Structure 1
Amino acid sequence: MSETFGFTPRRIDVGETTSVVVGTLGELCRVDSRGELISPVCQPFPAPVTSGVVLEDRWVGIWVEAEFQVARMAALPLDDAWRDGIGREELRTVLKNDGLEAVPAASIWSRTLDSEPMALTRVGDGFAFAVLGRGIYLMDADANEIWRAAIPHVGVDGSQRLHRQILEMFVIGDVLQIWMEDAEVYEMSLDDGRIIDQRVIRLSDRLEAVFHSKHLGWLLALSGGGIVRFESLDSAPDIHPTAGPVIDAVEGDSGWIWTGWRHDGMLVDDGVVSRPRRELGVAVLADSVLTNDGTWSACLV
C-alpha cells in the first residue's frame, strides 16, 4: 500500500475495483482494491467534499463551501486524468461576477445545488441524493432526474418534523432506505419514491452513523461510543460497548470489523474484540486501516 497520501483523509468512497480517498480540504486520489495509489492527488474544487459515491465508470461527489454558501455536485471519470481546479480566491472572484459559474475541474457534468446536500448513495447505474428542504432525487449516471420525492416530514408518532436531516441512504432490494438522524427509518419505492414503510429505532444515545451489509445486516454507531447490530430491523437489537466512537465499519471474514477513535474493533460471538491504536482510524479497506495522518496500517483485530 502507498506509504502516505500527504493530506488528512476524511473517508474512502469504496468501489468494486477503484476507490476514492477524500481529504478534509477536498483533496482526491484514486486507489485500487488494495489501497495502492493509481492517480496523483488533486483538488478539483476548493471546498470540502461532504459525500461521494463510485459508479461504474465515474465518481460523483458533492462539494460544499460554507463560507461562500456554494454547493456543487459533479461527476469525474474513473479512467481519465483528474487535475487541480481553481483556488479559493479565484472562486471568490468568480462568484462576484454575475453569469460566471465555477465547476470542478475535469468533470463530466456539474450541477449547482441551492440548498444543503445531506446524503448520497449508488442506485444501480445511477444514484440518489437528498437536499435539505428540497427533496430526495433519483438520477441516472448523467444527472438526468428519474423521480423526486418530498423528504418525509411527519414522524412515526404523527408529529410534524420540518427540515429533517438525513443521515444515510441504502438500497435494500427494490427500496431506498432512508435513515434520519433521529433514528426514524423510511423505505421508499425505487419505482416512484412513494413511502411504503416507516419505523423508529429506540436508542440510548444519539445516532452517529449507520452501516449496512447484505450478509450481516445493519451496524449502528452511537455518538458516545457503542454499537447496535440488527440482522433484520424486525429482530431484537444486539447492543455492545466499544472503546470509543466508531468511524468506519465493513464486513470482514468473520463479521463486522471497524476502526474509530484510537481503536480497532471486531464483533464476534462472545462480544467485542478491541485493540488500541495511536492515531484515529478513518476508513477500513482490504484488511488495512487508513488513519488521520494519511498512512495505512494493518487492522489490529
Structure 2
Amino acid sequence: MRPFQYARPDSLDHATQLTAPEDTMAIAGGTNLIDLMKLQVETPQELIDINRLTMGEIADTDDGGLRIGALATNTATAAHDRVRSDYPLLARAILAGATQQLRNKATTGGNLCQRTRCYYFTNIDQPCNKRDPGSGCGAIKGIARLHAILGTSNHCIATYPGDMAVAMAALDAQVLITREGEKERTVPVRDFHRLPGDTPEKDNVLEAGEIITGVTLPAPVEGKQIYRKVRERSSYAFALVSVAAVVAMTDGRISRANLAFGGIAHKPWHDPRLSELLVGETPSAAVFDKAADLLLEDAQGYGENDFKIPLTRRALAATLADATGVEL
C-alpha cells in the first residue's frame, strides 16, 4: 500500500469539497477500496473518511417507499423490518452477497461504488484497460470463466460483482447524489452503473466531488420476490449468474415481471423488453424460453464462459417457474 493523506470532513458540503480533486477518494466501510489499495490497484493521494456524516438512517418516505442512507450498513439494511416485510428481495440479495463481517462494515453507498473487476484488474502485472487504459484486456483471450456475456466491448469483459444493486434494479430503486452548491440529483439504479464501451475505467456516473447520500425504494408492489444466485460454492462467492425478480399473477396471467440479472454483464443487467414480453402471458416453459431468447439474443461467450449462456437460460426459467407456480 502506498502512503496517502487522510481527512475526516464534518459536513456533507465539506466532504464534496474534499473529494473534488481527481486523486482523492471517499471511504466508508472500505471493504473493497482497502483491498485494492493493498494491491496497489487503487492509489489515491488522499482518503476522505465520510463516516462522521449523518447518512445512516433508514426511514419511510412520504409516498410509502423507503429511504436507505448511504452509510447504512448492509447488515442494518437486511435486518430492517420494512426491508424484510416489503422488500425481501433486497434482504435476500444482501445476505447472499458477503460474509457477516463484511456486511457489518459495508455500506449502501460503498456497495454501489464497488469496482467492476476481474483477476486481470487486481493483478498489476497483467494488462487491463480498466486499471491502465490502453494496456489491453487480458481476459478476452485469457482466463474468462467469470466474465460477461452481455454488454461487453473490445476493451473489457469484466462483470459487476455485487448482489445488492441487482435486487435494487429489479425494485426500480433511485440513487440520490449530491455535490457542493447544487440540488441533489436522482439517478435510477438501472442507469447508475456504466457499460465498458471504450472507457471501461469508468464504472458509474458519479463525477468528481459527488457523493451518494442514499437510495430510495418506491412503495412496495404486489408480487412474489425472488433472488436466485448460482455460484461455484455455497459460501461467499460472486455469482456466475443471478436473477432478481418481482413477479405478480392476475387471473392466471403474468401481470408484473420486473427482472434484473447479475454475473452476466459489466453492470446489473435490466432489459425492459422482458417485462413487455411476459406481461399478459399465461406462464409456461415455452413463454419462459421465449423470454430467454430475447434476453440472450446478443450474448457472446469467450470460451471458458460459454456455459453462462445456457446457465442464464435455466436460471431465468427456474426463477419464473418458482414465481408463477409452473412446473418445468
TM-score, structure 2 as length reference: 0.22
Q: Identify the structure with the greater strand proportion.
A: 1
TM-score, structure 1 as length reference: 0.24
Report 1 or 2 for greater relative contact order, CA contacts < 8 Å, sequence distance ≥ 6: 2
Q: Identify the structure with the greater helix proportion.
A: 2
